[in-house]
Amino acid sequence: MSEVKLLVLDLDGTLLNGKKQISERNREVLLKAQNEKSLRIAIGSGRDYDYAKKVSEPLELDSHKGFLICNNGQKVYDCETQTMNEIRRITHTGGRIAMSYAELNSLEIRGSIGTEKYFHNCHEGKGKNGEEDLGYNPDTGFFDTDQDFDKIVIFTSEKYSLDDDHRVVEELRGLLGEHDDVTLVAPHVVDLVAKGVDKTSGIEWIAEHYGFEKEEILVMGDGENDLPAALKYPFSAMANSMDSVLKAASRVTLSNEEDGVAYEVERSVLKTAE
């Protein structure tokens, strides 16, 4: 493997443990790689900017010229210049299609436009945390807005199998057509994405602006929204990854509960592990 100059890290199931935290070992190893190897780190997640910024604070990305790739590649925040670069939003038409599908199938849907949050549990009227509906128009049955969305996620039932989740993805993809696309982030979690946008969109933006070659980039992840990156870049899958991701990966590291990120960085960047 070539010298790794840019490390792209998924959050949930990868960098974060089950407590949604960066372990002390992951933190120490990543800080060491940034300080000793001038490694640039990009968080590459389906999560929004606020969440990615908050949970990645222990990595001190601002002082190490890092990046935040948010909303599955839709936005890239440059920590050095403190600028947000937007690639493309989810269309409001796609939002309405997703809302209609969620209502028809009694599923929970969430969306956001900037700081404005949209939420609807079509089955029970309240979300997992007891939130009331926001932004739902009972007369139309859709998200009542003509603005394009930053993020939309649909939660399937805990009773759904992985095959059921994939059926939802394919049904939504067919309904969305040319407007938007959809990806399975994790079991029971389906994200809408702008057409032609995925995590590689954010990685490509960084590579183009900062001159990284494909061989100098290492991506780590566990969900199917990481598949485009796994098929394009050197990729290390977490041991807890979905089967399709494990099959596509260049290599496999330990699980997120075993500090798999730290192990891979020691192996591929610091060269202190086999």
The pLDDT profile of the chain, 274 residues, written as one tens digit per residue, is 679 999 999 999 999 999 999 999 999 999 999 999 999 999 999 999 999 999 999 999 999 999 999 999 999 999 999 999 999 999 999 998 998 899 889 898 888 888 777 776 665 544 444 444 445 444 444 466 788 999 999 999 889 999 999 999 999 999 999 999 999 999 999 999 999 999 999 999 999 999 999 999 999 999 999 999 999 999 999 999 999 999 999 999 999 999 999 999 999 999 998 7
Exposed/middle/buried for residue 231 (C-beta within 10 Å: 0-12, 13-18, 19+): exposed
The secondary element (H helix, E strand) that includes residue 152 is strand 151-155
State the Cα–Cα distance between residues 55 and 73, nearest whole angstrom.
18
Give the model's pLDDT for residue 243.
95
Structure tokens at 41: 């780190």
User: Which backbone phi and psi does 6 adopt, to 5 degrees?
Assistant: -130, 125
Q: What is the model's pTM?
A: 0.89
CA dihedral (155, 231, 85, 150) in degrees, to 10, reads -10
Q: Please, which residues have CB within 8 angstroms of residue 51's CB and are 6 or more apart in sequence?
A: 11, 45
Q: Which of the 8 DSSP states describes residue 255? A: -
Bridge partner list, 189: 155, 186
Give the model's pLDDT for residue 122.
61
> What pLDDT digit, counting tens, does each position of 90-130 carry?
999 999 899 889 988 989 888 888 877 777 666 554 444 44
